[in-house]
Amino acid sequence: MGCNSNSGGCSMNKKGCNKNSTQKLSTFDWMCDLPETQKDTDFIEVQFKNTRKGYFLNNTKLPLEKGDIVAVESSPGHDIGEVTLVGRLVTLQMKKYNVHPEKMEVRRVYRKAKETDLEKFQEAKGKEQATMIRARQIAENLKLNMKIGDVEYQGDGNKAIFYYIADERVDFRQLIKVFAESFRVRIEMKQIGARQEAGRIGGIGPCGRELCCSGWMTTFNSVSTSAARVQDISLNPQKLAGQCAKLKCCMNFELDTYSDALKIYPSKEIQLETLDNTFYYFKTDVFKGLISYSTSPNFGANVVTITAQRAKEIIAMNKKGQKPELLDDHIEEEKVMPVEYESGVGQDSLTRFDTNKKRPNGKNKRPNNRPNDKPNNAKPNERPDNRPQLAKPKPQVQAQEAKANPPENKKKSTENKGGAPRFQKPVKKTDIDAKKNEN
């Protein structure tokens, strides 16, 4: 069994040593790169369609590894599945799911799947969608209060498992007879819940991760709205319900932690009395250790936030008949500094293109992108290249020069001292050739 290290893990595209798997309810194989653990047991884990798994005995000592397609014993015939675990980790998984070989019938591994086995398997798999649609029509014609969620054919095509959802007990004896006449296979009915159906279908949750029921959860505990109240989650049915239309299972994950943290806080039913008002419980911030109280028992009005220790002090004062002047006498408001966006060099802002900066005269001007090469110790009238900078004339001097040079004398300024014009019109080459011809 080869093992290639890639990105800190042990992986080989499909078969062999592979810690992570694309199968639903996959197990992280942290022993895959320990060759001495691969032959500790003859049991292997085989996974079939969606989340159905089984443990089989490899009594013929076939050289199997993860990713192999095998034919295993079934009742009746054989089934086709993929090997997902081998070695010592299989015994740990069997212990986790209370699978005891000495107390149950042990089924065997027949062989690695041949081409004929795979052809039959693909043919049977192609019937599943049409069979499910037909089964739903039959159940509706018999007026049974049930939903056919999924259909799974056995690898040899001799048996079909119908997964259904029903809120009440359903008498499907007549349904099985109609199924057997319509599909000509052995029928097995399995009832599943809404959460199990969501796990079989799979999907992405609102957190952006794979559904827990499809990724790793195998046991589903009841979830109530009290879990949302303890954690101060808004009782919005659209946000509390998952893809199965039931309350999200993740609401139970941190329930015990919140329950232990809330033991140090006073009861929500206790009111705080001051000289001016009576305050009622509004909300609790477990992470910061703060409690908010409101002057109205129904909505947030004049909300005041204090620490849990301050609330206990006021409750003790009220029991003695004393009322404090203010509720938040011993709390200092923390100054919340606004977090501004900064890039890696701390120069770019997200709002730099939101407003157009205009000049006072209404005309936009391109910014001067030339670097400022002027040294810090340079003189006011000195350029960086040590060239002297001409001083700008003052407005009074400009006015005197304008009076001394009226518009009539402007023509003289365009001539040099020799009387030649300062700016001469260029002579074209054609004019020069014409003069030569005249001569």
Dihedral sign from CA coordinates of 367, 368, 370, 374: negative
Residue 353: is its pLDDT beyond 60? yes
SS3 at position 113: coil
Identify which of 55, 124, 119, 132 has the alpha carbon closest to the alpha carbon of residue 92: 55
Residue 400: is its pLDDT beyond 80? no
What average pLDDT does range 250-270 have in this prediction?
Answer: 89
The pLDDT value recorded for residue 213 is 87
Q: Which of 13-17, 236-240, 418-422 has the highest mean pLDDT?
A: 236-240
The pLDDT value recorded for residue 107 is 92
The pLDDT value recorded for residue 5 is 39
The pLDDT value recorded for residue 188 is 92
Identify which of 219, 235, 213, 314 has the alpha carbon closest to the alpha carbon of residue 272: 314
Identity of the residue numbered 118: L
370 vs 186, residue with greater confidence: 186
Alpha carbons 399 and 404: distance in angstroms, whole number: 9
DSSP 295-364: SSSSS-SS-EEEEHHHHHHHHHHHHTT---S-SSTT--PPP-PPPPP--TTS---TTTTTS----TTS--
Q: Say which range, 9-23, 212-226, 269-283, 343-357, has the weakest mean pLDDT.
A: 9-23
What average pLDDT does range 249-274 have in this prediction?
Answer: 89
Q: CA of 68: how far to CAs of 46, 59, 83, 115, 364, in Å?
A: 9, 16, 5, 13, 70
The pLDDT value recorded for residue 117 is 92
The pLDDT value recorded for residue 334 is 52
User: Parallel, antiparallel, or unpaired: how do β-strands 278-285 and 272-273 relate?
Assistant: antiparallel
pLDDT band at 189 (very low <50, low <70, confident <90, very high): very high
The pLDDT value recorded for residue 111 is 93
Q: Say which range, 32-41, 183-192, 374-383, 429-438, has the weakest mean pLDDT.
A: 374-383
pTM over 0.85: no
- 312-331 confidence digits (pLDDT tens): 999 999 998 888 888 876 54
pLDDT band at 4 (very low <50, low <70, confident <90, very high): very low
Q: Say which range, 72-81, 124-133, 391-400, has the weakest mean pLDDT.
A: 391-400
- 40-68 confidence digits (pLDDT tens): 889 999 999 888 889 999 999 999 988 89
Residue 396: is its pLDDT beyond 80? no
Residue 108: is its pLDDT beyond 90? yes
The pLDDT value recorded for residue 368 is 55
254 vs 17, residue with greater confidence: 254
SS3 at position 171: coil
Mean pLDDT, the chain, whole residue set: 78
